Amino acid sequence: AQSVAQPEDQVNVAEGNPLTVKCTYSVSGNPYLFWYVQYPNRGLQFLLKYITGDNLVKGSYGFEAEFNKSQTSFHLKKPSALVSDSALYFCAVRDSGNAGKSTFGDGTTLTVKP
């Protein structure tokens, strides 16, 4: 069975500093990895994905993620954090079969302080 893990419940950074939100994965076969963001009382919004190709993928709102096959990681990064980036972030892996269902990590709350 496929799974993702987000080892940190909470990440705190100062505005303007770089941020990293960690994710590790376990899949059989090729990984289809995604990051989503959720603001309070809203649904999840797609940020970026890794399917194949370059290990550094760029997404919405200045976010990027680095895929590392040897470490089975897919960490979310941003060079300069904004207060408005404060939200709940989920890493997910999508099954290539099984109706394409996605499995989500437990989520990481990012707080960016002014």
Partner 1 sequence: DTEVTQTPKHLVMGMTNKKSLKCEQHMGHRAMYWYKQKAKKPPELMFVYSYEKLSINESVPSRFSPECPNSSLLNLHLHALQPEDSALYLCASSTSRTAYGYTFGSGTRLTVV
Per CB under 8 A, residues contacting partner 1 are 32, 34, 36, 41-46, 49, 51, 88, 90, 94-96, 98-102, 104-107, 109
- The nearer residue to partner 1, 17 or 61, going by C-beta atoms, is 61
- The nearer residue to partner 1, 46 or 71, going by C-beta atoms, is 46
Tell me the backbone φ, ψ of residue 14, rounded to 5 degrees: -90, 145
- The nearer residue to partner 1, 40 or 114, going by C-beta atoms, is 40
How near is the Cβ of 13 to partner 1 at its closest, in Å? 19
- The nearer residue to partner 1, 97 or 114, going by C-beta atoms, is 97
CA distance 72 to 28: 12
How near is the Cβ of 32 to partner 1 at its closest, in Å? 5
Kindly give the pairing relationship between strand 56-58 and strand 44-50.
unpaired
How near is the Cβ of 35 to partner 1 at its closest, in Å? 9
64 closest CA partner among 48, 52, 51 = 48
